[in-house]
Chain A
Amino acid sequence: SQQGEEDPQALSIQEGENATMNCSYKTSINNLQWYRQNSGRGLVHLILIRSNEREKHSGRLRVTLDTSKKSSSLLITASRAADTASYFCAQIQGAQKLVFGQGTRLTINP
């Protein structure tokens, strides 16, 4: 079964705007990870946030984690055409099984 779900399923914005994607999960976590997938490629790790962290930054990426609501958000600021991709959150389920949500398909329009 899926551990997390992303919202929205698809997002289309203009270049330069900010993009926000959300992830909800069901059980307690040690950490939550965000990945990007360009069309026809494997996933690339973006950022990992631990359960005792509330916010983390990496370049134009900002991730927040609310363990009380079992949710996380990924914000991409000043979006670029190259940010067009699918974005997935992932969490450990059980011992070591990393499970992914269905993803958010982000399209940046020039």
Chain B
Amino acid sequence: GAGVSQSPSNKVTEKGKDVELRCDPISGHTALYWYRQSLGQGLEFLIYFQGNSAPDKSGLPSDRFSAERTGGSVSTLTIQRTQQEDSAVYLCASTRDGNLPLHFGNGTRLTVT
């Protein structure tokens, strides 16, 4: 079946503009994660959705970052007033159960100029 799909795969934006990144998880997966990965670095947790529970937003670096998950499926990560330090690869992952292995998309590479 289809894996986790992220779009766009690449995004170049000017500093100060808003961007929206999209994640389509695997059908039936109730848990969805967003991570950020800077060049050559590890994964930085951003936010976690599990079913209808309140999301764990503890990793969002500032109030410019927000995410939503509509209908328990597709998720969008929004970055307002982008800054150059926001440049990174944003990875989405989903799983049926938070204790099970994650399935990752290939990420969106965001470049803020």
Footprint of B on A, CB under 8 Å?
2, 30-31, 33, 35, 40-45, 48, 88, 92, 94-103, 105
Q: How far does the Cβ of B57 sit from chain A's closest Cβ, in whole Å? A: 11
Q: Considering the complex, give the chain A residue whose CB is closest to the CB of B100.
A: A48
Inter-chain CB contacts under 8 Å: number: 60
Q: Report the Cα distance A44→B104, complex, angstroms.
A: 7
Q: How far does the Cβ of A95 sit from chain B's closest Cβ, in whole Å? A: 7
**Interface of chain A, helix or strand or loop or mixed?**
strand
Which residues in chain B, 89-104, are within 8 Å of chain A measured between CB atoms?
91, 93, 98-104
Residue B56 at the chain A interface, CB threshold 8 Å: yes
Q: Contacts A88-B42, A103-B42 known; A98 to B103 CB distance under 8 Å?
A: no
Q: How far does the Cβ of A10 sit from chain B's closest Cβ, in whole Å? A: 10
Q: Which of B48, B104, B107 contacts A96 (CB 8 A)?
A: B48
Q: How far does the Cβ of A30 sit from chain B's closest Cβ, in whole Å? A: 6
Q: Tell me which residues across on chain B come within 8 A of A103, comparing CB atoms.
A: 42
Q: Tell me which residues across on chain B come within 8 A of A48, comparing CB atoms.
A: 100-101
Footprint of A on B, CB under 8 Å?
4, 31, 33, 35, 40-43, 45, 48, 50, 56, 58-59, 91, 93, 98-107
Q: Contacts A97-B48, A97-B56 known; A43 to B102 CB distance under 8 Å?
A: yes
Query: By the criterion CB–CB under 8 Å, are B42 and A2 in contact?
Result: yes
Q: Which of A2, A31, A42, A97 contacts B93 (CB 8 A)?
A: A42
Query: By the criterion CB–CB under 8 Å, are A45 and B103 in contact?
Result: yes
Q: Contacts A33-B101, A42-B105 known; A100 to B93 CB distance under 8 Å?
A: no
Q: Contacts A43-B93, A43-B102 known; A101 to B58 CB distance under 8 Å?
A: no
Q: Tell me which residues across on chain B come within 8 A of A45, comparing CB atoms.
A: 101-103
Q: Tell me which residues across on chain A come within 8 A of B99, comparing CB atoms.
A: 30-31, 92, 96
Q: Tell me which residues across on chain A come within 8 A of B58, comparing CB atoms.
A: 97
Q: Tell me which residues across on chain B come within 8 A of A88, comparing CB atoms.
A: 42-43
